Structure 1
Amino acid sequence: SMYFSQVFKELVPGGHAQLVMKTTDGDEHLEHNPELDSDQFSGVMIRVSFNGHGEMREMNQLSGGQKSLVALALIFAIQKCDPAPFYLFDEIDQALDAQHRKAVADMIHKMSEDAQFITTTFRPELLQHANKFYGVKFRNKVSHVECVTREEAYDFVEDDTTHG
């Protein structure tokens, strides 16, 4: 829960998030209670506030972009405590505004010291810190993958946002 709160605050400055353990009797616990057996827990609930002052909201009350940010915060928090060596993200920034896309790109850049991230995107923010770029082109009913320059990648996403 600590990592989740920290990561969420990095992605949403001024925001606040917490993981809440739910028990089979319907109670909610923010802190670990040694008197409870592990089989008494029924799941985890997520509560977030995007402005820090407002009421904590649950997942079913969030917009698509907000749900995406919460899901990414959870993945990045897990990476901090139980790291995987490799992540493949497909258009994770699609529902995010530019400010949050930049925050996600910065987080991936920071975490890429300890893991490899491959992302697909049609937005420029995720390209900022990337080390390698690939373009997928469709010719004669066949997809072709080829290395492209940073400039070609930016041209592609800018052309896509202009004409998309």
Structure 2
Amino acid sequence: MRVAPDDSQDTSSDRANADPFTGVGIKVSFTGGDGDMREMNQLSGGQKSLVALALIFAIQKCDPAPFYLFDEIDQALDAQHRKAIADMIRELSASAQFITTTFRPELLEHAHKFYGVKFRNKVSHVECVTRDEARDFVEDSATHA
């Protein structure tokens, strides 16, 4: 990768020789090794979610933010991968706060606080709920889905 020189020393010839870079190219293998490398457009929704989360978690380990807000990050994952993500969040929560929304039970296992959002009289109300109430809500959601 080529790094452009400091703007104060930048000349028009340096700009002309700079390679144009846009975005990040990612190739991934879920089988290990270099054998079956795939580009992002070849992955399933769950695989794309895992790659995105792996990138976020890697950045978090290098340059942590104080909190992360995830909205249904486990939606496209199977139970095994939801558990792995929940375990990773538990590990990383020692140095950051994670706020997640979910309709699946795996992310509830290691959580410390639970909130329910109820819609009454055309207004949303947020209230603290117990782990059991959160589990019941998730189970009811799975039953009615």
Question: Could you state the TM-score of these two structures normalised by the residue count of structure 2?
Answer: 0.85
More strand, by proportion = 1
5+ residue gaps in structure 1? 1-22, 24-35
Work out whether 1:124 is the aligned partner of 2:98.
Answer: no
CA deviations 1:85-112 (Å, max 9, x no partner) are 0101010101111001000000000000
Structure-1 residue corresponding to 2:8: none
Report the AA paired with residue 49 of structure 1.
S
Aligned residue for 2:136? 155
Cα-Cα RMSD: 1.4
Deviation at 1:40, TM superposition (A): 3.3
Change (3 A) 1:84 1:41: farther
Q: Which residue of 1 aligns with 2:66?
A: 85
Work out the percentage of aligned pairs sharing the same amino acid. Answer: 80
Equivalent in the alignment of 1:134: 115
Alignment partner, residue 62 of structure 1 = 43
User: Which sections of structure 2, spanning at least 5 residues, go unmatched?
Assistant: 5-17
Higher relative contact order (CA 8 A, sep 6+): 1
- Hey, what's the Cα distance between the residues in 1 that align with 2:113 and 2:67? 15
Do structure 1's residue 47 and structure 2's residue 27 form an aligned pair? yes
Per-residue deviation, 1:58: 0.7
Partner of 2:15: none
Which ranges of 4 or more aligned residues in structure 1 deviate by more than 4 Å?
Answer: none
Structure 1 or 2, whichever has the larger Rg, is 2
Task: Measure the CA separation in 1 of the matches of 2:144 and 2:104.
Answer: 13
TM-score, normalising length: structure 1: 0.75
2:56 aligns with: 75
In structure 1, what is the Cα distance between the partners aligned to 2:78 and 2:20?
A: 36
